[in-house]
Structure formats: C-alpha cells, structure tokens
Chain A
Amino acid sequence: MPYYRCFTPKDALTFEQRQDIARAFTDIHCGNTGAPRSFVSVSFFETPHAEQPDFRSTYYVDGANRAGRSEDVKQQLLADLTRAFGEIADVPSDMIDGRITENPASWTMEGGFVLPEPGQEGPEWYAEVAASAAD
C-alpha cells in the first residue's frame, strides 16, 4: 500500500507515459503523505478488464490507501493524481475520474512488517523499511 490502479482504453498510453504517470503518482503520494517511495505501486489495466470497478469515465484512477488520513489530504491527493494523469496522458479532465478507498494499515504486511497507522511511522520503522529494501 498504496496501490493505484489506472484503467485506460486499449493502447491509449505508451510505455513512457505509463512510466511517467507511475513516477508522478509516486512523487505526489509521498509528497502528500510522507510514505516511503518504495511502497507506492501503480498498475495499468486496459479496459474492458475483469478487475475494473464500476465507472463511467473513459479513464479511471482507483487508489487503495491506509485508512486514517484527513479528508482534505485524500481530496488533495486524488485531485493531484488525476491532474497529473491528464497532463501526462494528454487527456481532458472530464474524461478522468477516480476514487481512493481505505483499509486499516494493520491488515497489510509489506516489506516484512505490519504497516503502521498513518502518522505512527517512527524513525525506527523507516530504518527497517530501508534495510528491507536493500536486502
């Protein structure tokens, strides 16, 4: 976590655009939340796809994050993500929609550790994550 799934029409994005979006999402998520970069996953699915949620826009950003952040942070995050997606994909904003769903951090184990709640990440946890990533 976080995990961002981007749903697009077939062949809508080049590899370079997907990579740029993934990098932008990583920057945006970490800038808004302070999460380690190595935890940000972004996948792209071409529609129709069995995994897609119900949506009516042409492009959709479906984020899954740890619960516990303020509504302001979540709204800012989604706005920044969809704006970056539109800029990189060269798609007007009215063709992009999205959502961010949340689950308790304690329901996920990542890097070998149960995730702490947002705001509870101490320096020890960041050090453990860095050590795990270096293994």
Chain B
Amino acid sequence: MITFNCTIQEGIIPDDLRPKLASELARISTGILGGNSDDVTVRWIEIPRGFGFRGGHLSTTSAVRGEIPPGCQQETRVRLMQAIQDRWMELTGCTTAELVVSARDRRET
C-alpha cells in the first residue's frame, strides 16, 4: 500500500486537475516501486486561504507526502521524489520553490 497526502493551498491547484495528478502519482509510484495502482491512495488536504504560511508569508506551496513500504533504497527513493516533482511541476506550472515532496517509510502497526 502506498499513500499520498497532498496538502495544497486553496486556489492554487484547480479542482479538475486533481484526478490527473492522482493518477500520475499512482503511475509513477507503482512504476518505480512496483505494485498495483489500485493499492495507491491519494488524499487531498486543502488549506483555506489565510490559514497556510511559508516563511511567515501566505503560502502557495503544495506538499506531496508519500508513505511507501519500508526498506526502500535511498537511490530509489530519490528517483521517486524527483519523478513526482518533475511531473507535478509540469502539470501545475509551479516552481521548485513551491513544492515539497517526501517519501517516508510507512510505519508498521
């Protein structure tokens, strides 16, 4: 199971772009880590305008926080984060300064 929590600022990512972004997250992550895209969950957390800040100013930053199966090699992890960053920027038009991507090991319960 791979999970992505995408935290976005209100008004920055159009609603109709989200399905494409979600499908690309599934495609990229299963292409690099293996598995089935049906086992990828993408959740959206929208921060209302005036509730998100970066560097003390209103934020336009999106954060894509992935939880991946534990034990991933760092080289693979970097390849995953880089691919997500590149595709997200391509689809949304954001800059590198407006995007945070992480891929942390899923905590086993």
| B55 lies within 8 A of A44 (CB) | no
- A73 CB contacts on chain B under 8 angstroms: none
Question: Which of B63, B77, B102: most chain A CB closer than 10 A?
Answer: B102
- A112 pairs with B102, CB closer than 8 A: no
Which residues in chain B, 14-43, are within 8 Å of chain A measured between CB atoms?
none
On whether the beta carbons of B53 and A19 are closer than 8 Å, the reply is yes
B43 to A: closest C-beta gap in Å: 9
Asked whether any CB of chain B lies closer than 8 Å to the CB of A55, the reply is no
Listed A/B pairs (26) with beta-carbon separation below 8 Å = A3-B100, A19-B56, A22-B53, A37-B55, A38-B54, A38-B97, A39-B55, A41-B61, A41-B63, A41-B100, A42-B54, A43-B47, A43-B51, A43-B52, A44-B51, A44-B52, A107-B102, A107-B104, A107-B105, A109-B78, A109-B81, A109-B102, A110-B101, A112-B85, A132-B95, A135-B95
User: Lowest 4 CB-CB distances: which A-B pairs, in order?
Assistant: A22-B53, A112-B96, A23-B56, A108-B102
Identify 5 new A-B residue pairs, CB closer than 8 A, beyond the known A107-B103, A132-B95.
A22-B56, A41-B63, A42-B53, A45-B51, A132-B96
Q: Mark A35-62, 1 if CB is under 8 A from B, else 0.
A: 0011111111100000100000000000
The binding surface of chain A is classed by DSSP as mixed
Interchain CA distance A109-B3 in the complex, whole Å: 17
Number of residues of chain A lying within 8 A (CB) of chain B: 31
Chain B: CB-nearest residue to A110: B100
Q: Which residues of A contact B56 (CB under 8 A)?
A: 19, 22-23, 26-27, 37, 40
Measured CB to CB, the residues of A under 8 A from B are 1, 3, 15, 18-19, 22-23, 26-27, 37-45, 51, 103, 106-112, 114, 132-133, 135
Contacts of B12 in A (CB 8 A): none
Task: Provide the B50-72 mask, 1 if CB < 8 A to any CB of A, else 0.
Answer: 11111110010101000000000
**Nearest-CB residue, chain B, relative to A113:** B96
Q: How large is the interface on B (under 10, 10 to 19, 20 to 34, 35 or more residues)?
A: 20 to 34
Is B45 interfacial (CB 8 A cutoff)? yes
Knowing A41-B61, A135-B95, the reply to whether A109 touches B50 (Cβ < 8 A) is no
Contact with A along B73-102 (1 / 0, CB 8 A): 010011001100100000000011101111
